[in-house]
């Protein structure tokens, strides 16, 4: 009988438990088979011992264990990995080192507190949702009322817009005003018109686009035609140059896209009159000619003043007038480039202006 070993000493509370040793495979701890016994007289050879399961994956026998290790290997085969050792270690570490343990009470308490806040948020969310539903309900009720109230007018518009065809821009603007006078009464135009099957929405959009574009160009034309030409020339040139820069930008942009726009509008039976662009350019030439006339007028007045007064007193205003002549000519050239030409009046005035600049003593070599 082997002697009984004394139990191991207890582990101090402050010491950490050692980690579990790695597992040892069963196949490595089995001893090799005993050698075959010698056959007795008159008997056949003894059968070989059965093979050890899992002794080798590739058919080769495992190496024999070193001498004196048979008892140790046999003892470690009883060790198993513990499924709860990790939890025990963490709990003990918390008790010994004072790490707070995360218990179910704390987690439940947090959830309970969050649940209370969530309940308040849900109540507020429901109130907001009800208010929104009430608002939307009133909104859609108003839409249904518009559908019934303006049903006859909208059906008439549906027919008139679908069949509208024109090349007269005055007729276009007049018809668009009639359409807007009806649609502007609707609470939500898109929602109301969607209730009427077959309403020509794209034709309506084309009608509005053409009307707005022509009104904008017509406003430019009216601005140029009503431009006041009054001295002093310097302030006049500053004002008309700002006007020219703004209109030139708009017209140049439209010139690049007018063919495409005309094709789109023609698909809706609207023949847009782009001739208004030519009229705008002609009006700009007229403004330029008016500025040249004022420049020549101030030049003649300056010459008369110089003849009546002494040469010293008349020299300063004449020099200023000479600079304005050149500035007026520069503006006329910019307008000429933009419009693509001059009329007879502008051509005559530019020649006179150029002659005055060339014969000015200040520019004589």
Burial of 15 (0-12, 13-18, 19+ CB in 10 A): exposed
Given a cut of 90, is residue 264 above it in pLDDT?
A: yes
- Judge whether 359 and 301 are in contact, CB under 8 Å: no
pLDDT tens for 125-139 read 777 776 676 566 788
Instruction: Dump pLDDT digits (tens) for 326-345.
Output: 999 999 999 999 999 999 99
- Spatial distance between the Cα atoms of 240 and 47, rounded to a whole number of angstroms: 124
| Mean pLDDT along residues 176-189 | 95
Where along the chain do its domains lie?
Answer: 224-363
Give 154-166 pLDDT, tens digit per residue: 999 999 999 999 9
What pLDDT band is residue 285 in, cutting at 50, 70 and 90? very high
Q: Are 284 and 341 in contact (CB under 8 A)?
A: no
Q: Which residues pair with 270 in a beta bridge?
A: 166
CA distances from 194 to 189, 190, 242, 365 (A): 8, 6, 45, 77
Residue 244 has pLDDT above 60, yes or no: yes
């Amino acid at each position: 009988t082997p002697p009984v070993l004394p139990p191991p000493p207890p582990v101090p509370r402050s010491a950490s438990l050692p980690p579990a040793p790695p597992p040892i495979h069963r196949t490595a701890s089995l001893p090799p088979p005993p050698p075959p016994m010698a056959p007795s007289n008159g008997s056949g050879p003894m059968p070989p011992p059965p093979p050890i399961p899992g002794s080798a994956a590739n058919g080769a026998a495992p190496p024999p264990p070193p001498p004196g290790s048979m008892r140790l290997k046999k003892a470690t085969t009883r060790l198993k990995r513990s499924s709860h050792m990790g939890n025990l270690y963490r709990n003990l570490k918390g008790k010994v080192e004072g790490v707070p343990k995360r218990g179910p009470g704390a987690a439940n308490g947090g959830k309970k507190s969050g649940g209370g806040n969530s309940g308040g948020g849900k109540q507020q969310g429901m109130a907001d949702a009800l208010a929104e539903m009430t608002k939307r309900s009133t909104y859609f009720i108003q839409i249904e009322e518009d559908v019934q109230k303006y049903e006859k007018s909208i059906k008439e518009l549906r027919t008139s817009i679908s069949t509208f065809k024109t090349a007269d821009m005055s007729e276009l603007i007049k018809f668009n005003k009639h359409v807007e006078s009806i649609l502007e009464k609707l609470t939500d135009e898109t929602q109301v018109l969607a209730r009427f099957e077959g309403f020509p929405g794209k034709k309506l959009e084309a009608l509005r686009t053409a009307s707005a574009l022509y009104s904008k160009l017509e406003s430019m034309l009216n601005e140029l035609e009503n431009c006041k030409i009054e001295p002093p020339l310097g302030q006049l040139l500053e004002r008309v140059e700002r006007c020219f820069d703004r209109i030139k930008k708009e017209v140049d942009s439209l010139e690049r896209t007018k063919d495409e726009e005309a094709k789109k509008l023609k698909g809706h039976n609207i023949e847009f009159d782009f001739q208004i662009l030519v009229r705008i350019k002609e009006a700009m030439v007229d403004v330029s000619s008016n500025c040249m006339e004022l420049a020549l007028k101030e030049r003649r007045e300056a010459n008369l003043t110089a003849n009546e007064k002494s040469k010293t007193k008349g020299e300063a205003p004449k020099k200023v007038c000479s600079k304005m002549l050149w500035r007026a000519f520069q503006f006329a050239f910019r307008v000429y480039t933009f419009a693509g030409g001059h009329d007879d009046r502008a051509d005559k005035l530019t020649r006179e202006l150029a002659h005055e600049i060339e014969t000015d003593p200040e520019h004589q070599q």
